[in-house]
Chain A
Amino acid sequence: RIMPVRWSRYNPNYLEPEVKKESYQKPLEELTEEEREQMELKAVRPIKAAPPSLSSSVFSDPMISKFTNMMMKSGNKVLARSLMSQTLEAIKRKQLEKYHKAPENEKETIECNPYVIFHQALKNCQPIIGLSNITKGGKTYQVPVPLTDNRKRFLAMKWLITECRENKHRRTLMPEKLCQELLLAFNNEGPIIKKKHVLHKMAEANRAYAHFRWW
């Protein structure tokens, strides 16, 4: 008997799998009306197969997995994941070093959790408006346009990875360079933040063309 394998074309009846353990440990009385209906629906409808990248462990983070996938080259997920873990370890080491050298009053301001640093650095790198090419009357203009959340996240990660791949010394390894860039972005410095500011400046210079947008 062949079990259905996860691909993207499912019957619309199929529902997404729920992976978080906390949602199953809630007692029946605490659920709201919608959640009760959702549970009853799940008892009747079939469910899609869970993808291998989705996990219920406390250590898994969807942003980190997305970033590892973007860093991966020619399907070498093992290498990408080891680079990611080495980066996180390097961030932790540097922050601990700073922590132990700092005087007593400053010890609380230093952030040691590499996941927090990663998330905050990505958030600082995300652009707020983007530019899009709109042709009007034969000429193409760069029009400032609001971006969706997915697009912002993608741009931040893409800039980070290209920056680390191109602008480094021949002998530095990727985790080290990534670690430096992440710490700079966490403090709102560094080349990626500059790139974001350049984009914002161009959007500001072109703000007269904002009326060309029709959405």
Chain B
Amino acid sequence: MAAPAYPAWVTRWVSGQWRNKKRPPALRPPRTLGAAAATCITEMSVMMACWKQNDFNDTPCAEEIRMFYDCVAKAEKERKNQNEDTLSSKGNLPSSKVNKLLKRFPQITRYA
């Protein structure tokens, strides 16, 4: 018997599609822009302008440097607070987290 013709479901079953691993994810990540990125640019540009005037010395620019450090510390804290499992700005969880949750509690349709 050359090239045995199996029905389509046999090849799918053998390839493992009906086992949980090869199911496509429930949600695709939405293509939003990388907004709220690149914080503290104004502070940085102010500091660099001050550097240009004072030949890159730190002592006359101490005020700008302090403001830059404060801005960086604030941005760091905000990022830490943001990385929790609560709702994001739109009211939806990020899709990767939704996928993980749905995989943990799957919808069982067949009770064999």
Specify whether A and B are partners.
Answer: yes
Binding site for B on A (CB under 8 A): 124, 128-129, 144, 146, 188, 197, 200-201, 203-204, 207, 210-215
Give the 8 A-B residue pairs with the shortest CB-CB distance, closest first. Answer: A214-B37, A146-B72, A213-B38, A197-B56, A204-B48, A211-B38, A214-B34, A210-B41
Tell me the residues in window 50-66 of chain B with beta carbons closer than 8 Å to chain A beta carbons. 51-52, 56-59, 65
When the two chains form their complex, are residues B45 and A207 in contact, meaning their CB atoms are under 8 A apart? yes
C-alpha spacing A214/B37, complex, angstroms: 4
C-alpha spacing A212/B41, complex, angstroms: 11
Binding site for A on B (CB under 8 A): 34, 37-38, 40-41, 44-45, 47-48, 51-52, 56-59, 65, 68, 72, 79
C-alpha spacing A201/B44, complex, angstroms: 13
Number of A-B contacts (CB under 8 A): 39
Query: What residue in chain B is nearest A204 (Cβ atoms)?
Result: B48
Which residues of B lie under 8 Å from residue A200 when comparing CB positions?
51, 56
Pull 11 A–B residue pairs with CB atoms less than 8 Å apart, ordered by A: A128-B47, A129-B44, A146-B40, A188-B59, A200-B51, A207-B44, A210-B44, A211-B37, A211-B38, A212-B38, A213-B37
When the two chains form their complex, are residues A128 and B65 in contact, meaning their CB atoms are under 8 A apart? yes
* B24 smallest CB distance to A (angstroms): 27
C-alpha spacing A173/B60, complex, angstroms: 36
* B67 smallest CB distance to A (angstroms): 12
A188-B57 contact given A146-B72, A204-B51, CB 8 Å threshold: yes
> Which of B37, B51, B59, B68 is within 8 Å of A215, CB to CB?
B37
* A135 smallest CB distance to B (angstroms): 15
* B106 smallest CB distance to A (angstroms): 31
Which residues of A lie under 8 Å from residue B37 when comparing CB positions?
211, 213-215
C-alpha spacing A128/B59, complex, angstroms: 13
* B51 smallest CB distance to A (angstroms): 6
When the two chains form their complex, are residues A210 and B52 in contact, meaning their CB atoms are under 8 A apart? no
